[in-house]
Structure 1
Amino acid sequence: MIEVRNLSYSYNGDETYQVKNVNFKVKNGEIFGFLGPSGAGKSTVQNILTGLLPLENGKGEVKVAGYDIRDSSKKRFNEIGMSFEQSNVYSKLTARENLAFYSKLFDVPTLEPDFLLKMVGLDGKEDIKAGEFSKGMKHRLTFARSMTNQPKLWFLDEPTTGLDPSIAAKIKEIIKQKNAEGTTVFLTTHNMAIADDLCDRVAFIVDGEIKLIDSPENLKLQYGDKVVSVTYIDGGEVKTRVFSFLIEEDKKALQALIDQYTIQTMHTKEATLEEIFIKVTGRGLK
C-alpha cells in the first residue's frame, strides 16, 4: 500500500536534509505506526506521502496506494483519507455543511454527513457552525471528514489528541473497526500508548532517520525486562519482591514464596513502547 525507498528531503533545497534516506513499506490491511518526538520528521514524511509536500526538494522513490507520488494524477486522492492534528475545518459552515462540501471533491461514493457525525458523537450538533465548536469537537469533525470517501488508505495524525478518555476510546474503536473492514492505516503519533494498542508494526524516527521497524510484541520481547513483581503477606505485613525469569535461583525462590505465603498480586513487568523508544534511540518523546 505504501513503499518508500531512499527518501531524503531538504526544505532549503540544499544538502541539509530534514529526512535522511528513509526506507519502509506498509502492507495492505495493517496499522503502521510512525513514532517519534516533535521535530523528528514525522510530519514531513506524512506530508510527502499525502501529496501536500512535493518532492521537488527531495530524492527517492515513493508509491502510495499504487501511485507514484510524482504522478500528477488526482485519482489517488479518491483512495486516501487524511485526519490532521491541527483541525482545518471551515468555521463559518455548520458541521453538516463542512462534510457535504468535502464530499463533492471526490469521484467515488461518499458517506452521509449525519452518519459520520453520529459515529464520532457529534449527533445533535449537525447545524452548529464549526467556529462555535470546542477544540476537541473540531478535532472529531476533522476525523469524521477523513472517512467521507471510505478510504482504502487512511492517514491519521495524532487522532486522539485533546480528547477526553471516553471519546478517545470511541475513536480508537472506529480505527479498529475500519481496519477490520480492510482499511490500511498510517498512524503518526508521539503517543506510545495508542500506538501499542493499535499498531501491527511501528517505526521509530529520530532526527529524520528511521532507527527501527518491528511489531510492538517483538520489541517488548527483545527489550523488555522478563521479571515478575509479587505482593504477599509475611507475618501480617505486606511485602513486594521482584523476580527474574532469566535467573534460575529467582525462579526457585518465586516458587518457594508461592508455596509459603499468601499472595496478593502478581504482575509481569513488560516494557512500554516509550521505554523501548528511549532505550533504542537515546531520546525522549518531548
Structure 2
Amino acid sequence: MQPIIEVDQLLKAFGNKSALQHIQFNVHQGEIFGFLGPSGSGKTTTVKILTSQLLPTSGTVKVFGQPINKMNDSSHKRRIGILTDNSALYERLTIQDNLELFCRLYDVESKRIAEVLEEVNLANDRQTMVKKLSKGMKQRVMLARAILHKPDLLFLDEPTSALDPVNTLHIHEGLRKLNREGTTIFLTTHNMMEAESLCDRVAFIHDGVIKAIDTPQQLRLAHADQSMTVLVKGEGKRVLQQNEESAQRIGQWMLEGRLLSIHSNEPTLGDIFVKMTGRELQ
C-alpha cells in the first residue's frame, strides 16, 4: 500500500539558512506518527510544507500520492484537518457559531458539533464567545474544528502545549478514537510522554536533520544499557548488569525473602534524544 505521506530529500532554506536538510520519511495509512524535536528544529516548517502553506526549496513531497502543489484542490483539502500555530477563530462568535460555519464550509451535519465538543471537553461551553476563552480553551476549539469533518489525515502541531494534564488526557483519548475510526495522524511535539502514549512510530529531528525513525519500543530496546534496578530489603536500590553474577545475587535475595522489586532500565524517548543530539527536548 502506498504511504499516505512521502518525503524524499526535502530541503527548505530561508536565505542562507537551511531549516530542513534533505530529510526523508514516509507515513503509512492508519498510523499515529510522531515528529519530535525541540523548538526551532524544523517541525513546524515540515508541517507547513506538508499542508502546502510553504513550498520546498528542493526535494519531493507527496500527500495522498499527489505532489503538494496539487493539494489546494478542494477534494484534497476536505481530506485533511490542520491544527497549527497560525490556526485562527472568529473572536466575536461563540464556539457553536464558529463550528457551524465550518460545518457549512465542509458540508458536515451540525449534529457532529456535539460529538467533537465532548471529545475536547467543551460541551458545556458551546455558547461562550471565543474572545472570553483562555488560551487552552481556544486550542481545544481549534482542535474540535480540525476533526469536525473526520479527516483522512490530521496534522497536529503541538496540540496540547497549552493544556493542563486532565484536558491533555481527554484529548489523547479523543485522538485514539479518531485514529481507530481511520484517521492517520501526523503529530509534532516536544512532549516525550505524549509521544510514548500515542505514537506508533516516531522521528527525531534536530537542526533540520532526522536522527532516527522507529517505534518507541524499538528505540528503547536499541538504546537500553542491559541493566536493571532491584530493591532489596536492608540494602535499598541496587543497579545491576544483566549477567550470571547478578542472577545469582537475585536468586539469593529471593531465597532470603529480601527482594522487594526488580525492573529493567529502559531509557525514555527523552533520554535517547539527549544521547543522540546532546540537547534536551523543551
TM-score strictly above 0.5: yes
- Paired residues of 2:35 and 2:43 also in contact (CA < 8 A): yes
Q: Cα distance, 1:87 vs. partner? A: 5.5
Q: Which residue of 1 aligns with 2:241?
A: 244
Task: Return structure 1 stretches of 4+ with deviation > 4 angstroms.
Answer: 107-111
Seq. identity, %: 40
TM-score (norm 1): 0.91
Q: Which residue of 2 aligns with 1:282?
A: 278
Matched, 1:266 2:265: no
Q: Cα distance, 1:73 vs. partner? A: 2.0
Distance in 2, Cα, partners of 1:4 & 1:168? 30
Q: Which residue of 1 aligns with 2:82?
A: 82
Structure 1 counterpart of 2:247, one-letter code = K
Unaligned 5+ runs, structure 2: none
- Paired residues of 1:95 and 1:129 also in contact (CA < 8 A): yes
Q: Aligned in 2, Cα 1:85/1:169: closer, same or farther, shift over 3 Å? A: farther
Matched, 1:6 2:3: no
Q: Which residue of 1 aligns with 2:250?
A: 254
- Paired residues of 2:100 and 2:110 also in contact (CA < 8 A): no
Q: Cα distance, 1:111 vs. partner? A: 6.1
Q: Deviations over 1:195-231 (max 9, x none)?
A: 0111111111111111111110001101023322121
Q: Which residue of 2 aligns with 1:160?
A: 160
Aligned residues: 278
Distance in 2, Cα, partners of 1:53 & 1:262? 61
Distance in 1, Cα, partners of 2:115 & 2:236? 54
TM-score (norm 2): 0.93
- Paired residues of 1:65 and 1:153 also in contact (CA < 8 A): no
144-153 or 157-166: bigger deviation? 157-166
Q: Cα distance, 1:85 vs. partner? A: 4.6
Structure 2 counterpart of 1:264, one-letter code = L
3-state SS in 2 of match to 1:124: helix
Unaligned 5+ runs, structure 1: none
- Paired residues of 1:110 and 1:150 also in contact (CA < 8 A): no
Q: Which residue of 2 aligns with 1:64?
A: 63
1:47-126 alignment to 2 at 5 Å? 47-55=48-56, 58-71=57-70, 72-85=72-85, 88-106=88-106, 112-126=112-126
Q: Cα distance, 1:110 vs. partner? A: 7.4
Structure 1 counterpart of 2:145, one-letter code = R
Q: Cα distance, 1:239 vs. partner? A: 1.8
Q: Aligned in 2, Cα 1:110/1:244: closer, same or farther, shift over 3 Å? A: farther
114-123 or 179-188: bigger deviation? 114-123
Q: Cα distance, 1:83 vs. partner? A: 1.7
Q: Cα distance, 1:107 vs. partner? A: 5.3
3-state SS in 2 of match to 1:103: helix
Q: How much is the aligned-residue C-alpha RMSD, in angstroms?
A: 1.8
Q: Deviations over 1:156-211 (max 9, x none)?
A: 11122222212111111111111111211101001111101111111111111111
